[in-house]
Structure formats: structure tokens, C-alpha cells
Amino acid sequence: MLYRKLFAFTAFWAGCSAFTVQEPASRRVTSLSLSEDNMTTEGSRRSFLSQAAITTGMACFGEILSLQPANAVSGVSKVDAKLRGYGLPPLGPVPDGFAPLLEIYGKGKNRFPILVSFSHPITWVVQTPSNDVNGEDGTVQAGDYGKGDTATFFVYSDPGHVNDIASQPKELFEKALMKSIGQKGENMYQNFKVTKLVPVTKAGQTYVMADFKYQLLTGAGFEVDRKGVASITSEGPAVEVLWAASTSARFKKTEQNLRNIVDSFRCYTEGINMSDELMQYD
């Protein structure tokens, strides 16, 4: 749906530009013989059409930027209100050009529920899990996919709940991140390395911030160097990861955005009632 809107908007804008800027030669010649009043009328008509094209185009563009999954809560005031309803602290500062997102991962019977929150660039496309009678599939993700910039939530269930995650060995974070980037198969990447780990405390919760890099192996046989950052914690019976990455060539440009994303990451499982928002099965 998004791509159809983008294509329609692009085609519409190109058509409007061609109509309002490149007037046919026959009309340009004819207009030389028009009276001053007619020239004014013609100019006003072109001005009106040009303005209409801009207004309609911007409205279409605004609709594209505002696309969000129907079940995701976004907007600072809405997210804060939802968090207060759960008895949780409000969002911290949201960077300029960013939008917050609040979503429940695990509404289906095949997962345990986790309330996930993070902020992302406002132009990024958001995806949330899908649910049906068989359970839940997919994850919470945002990205500028055409450029290879993504932020993805991942639940690493193998170790179960981990007490005092800040004191855990580097191996745990390496495994959690490799599982995160290797969801489509371990043969999709190589030369993975964690380069930095820093524990932080946010609103009484402990998160470990990680820097990492790897090479993505594409289906066409190319190797793409990528760099990323992540925030890792353990709430409920698993380890939760929000990782954000881009190509190494773009990392200098995207680094601050990626760090803002993972810095904003929060997740909650215990002490809040999400039962009304979970899937109901017969």
C-alpha cells in the first residue's frame, strides 16, 4: 500500500510539474498576441493550477509520512497517556525529527507479551507483528529500507531471564546480537564483531549498549559492510534486543540517529496488565 501511494504521488507530482512549467510551444506563441487582460487571466490560471498542484502534492506527501500501523500507538502525548495508564514513567525527550512508538510484542498465544517503546525518524516506515488464529508472526521494526537503515526488536529466548545483565560475559551479548541479525539464517552474514559494551541505568532498569559490525551476504553474492548499535536488557523470561544498523558507508551520517533510537528503547513485562489488548481465542 505504501509503495502504491509513493508511486502515485511521484507520478502525480511529475505530471503537475510538466503541466505547470513546460507549456506547449503553440500556446507560448499564441500568448504573445493576447491582450494584457487575457495575459493576466492566463497567468492567474497557471498560478492557481500550480498552487493547487503544490497543495495536493504536499497533502499526499503528508499522508505518506503519517502512515503508521493501525495497532501502533504514536505521538508523544498519546504514548505518554498510554504509559501512564500502565503506571509507567513517561517518555524522555524525543529528538527533533523523531516520533515515538509504543507497541505490544506478543499479543498472540505463541509468545509472552512485552510492551516495547522506542523513537525513530519520522520519515521511517513502521512495521508491527501480525496476528491470526494461529498466533503471532513478525516483530516491531522501523526503517528507511531503500537505504538499508533499520531498527529491529528481537527476543532472544535461549538463556531465559538473566539476572544482573550488566555483569554478564561478552559472549552473551555476542550470541544475542548474532541471533538478532541472523534471523534469516546464519549463512547471511560473516565477520561479526562486538566492539564496545557499556551498561546504563534508565528509569530503574538496566540496559547494555553495544556497538558491533558485520558483513551482510546478499543473495546476489555481494558482501555489504554494516555497522550497528544496540540496547540489550532482560525483562521477563528472555533477553530483549533493539538493534539499529546501516551500511558502513552511511554510518557516519546515520550514527547519531541510530544511537538516538537505541537510547530511547524501553521494554516492560512484569507488573502491568496487558490482557485486554491480547488476542482472544475461542
Task: Please give the average per-residue pLDDT across 47-66, as a whole number.
Answer: 44
pLDDT digits (tens, 9 = 90+) for 171-225: 999 999 999 999 877 789 999 999 999 999 998 999 999 999 999 998 888 899 9
C-alpha distances (whole Å) from 252 to each of 131, 194, 245, 247 are 37, 18, 11, 10
Strands 239-247 and 149-156: antiparallel
Q: Is the pLDDT of residue 63 over 60?
A: no
CA neighbor of 189 nearest in space, from 167, 222, 164: 222
204 in the same domain as 103: yes
> By the 8 A CB rule, do 79 and 100 touch?
yes
Q: Supply the CATH number for residue 194's domain.
A: 3.40.1000.10
Predicted model pTM: 0.75
> By the 8 A CB rule, do 156 and 241 touch?
yes
Residue 10's domain comprises: 2-65
94 in the same domain as 60: no
Task: Please give the average per-residue pLDDT across 132-157, as a whole number.
Answer: 96
210 in the same domain as 90: yes
DSSP 265: -
Residue where one domain finishes, among candidates 65, 87, 102 = 65
87 in the same domain as 201: yes
Task: Please give the average per-residue pLDDT across 233-249, as a whole number.
Answer: 97
99 in the same domain as 30: no
126 in the same domain as 105: yes
Report the domain count for the chain. Answer: 2
Mean pLDDT of the chain: 82
**Largest pairwise CA distance in the chain:** 85
Helix (H) or strand (E) holding 266: strand 266-268
State residue 4's pLDDT score: 44
Total count of residues recorded for the chain: 282
Distance (Å, whole) CA 201 – CA 208? 9
103 in the same domain as 25: no
Residue where one domain finishes, among candidates 65, 98, 120 = 65
Three-state SS for 142? strand
255 in the same domain as 196: yes
The percentage of residues in the chain with a pLDDT greater than 70, rounded to a whole number, is: 74
From 58-67, 83-92, 163-172, the region with the lowest mean pLDDT: 58-67
Distance (Å, whole) CA 235 – CA 237? 7
CA neighbor of 257 nearest in space, from 76, 121, 126, 123: 121
97 in the same domain as 59: no
Residue 282, domain member (yes or no): no
144 in the same domain as 51: no
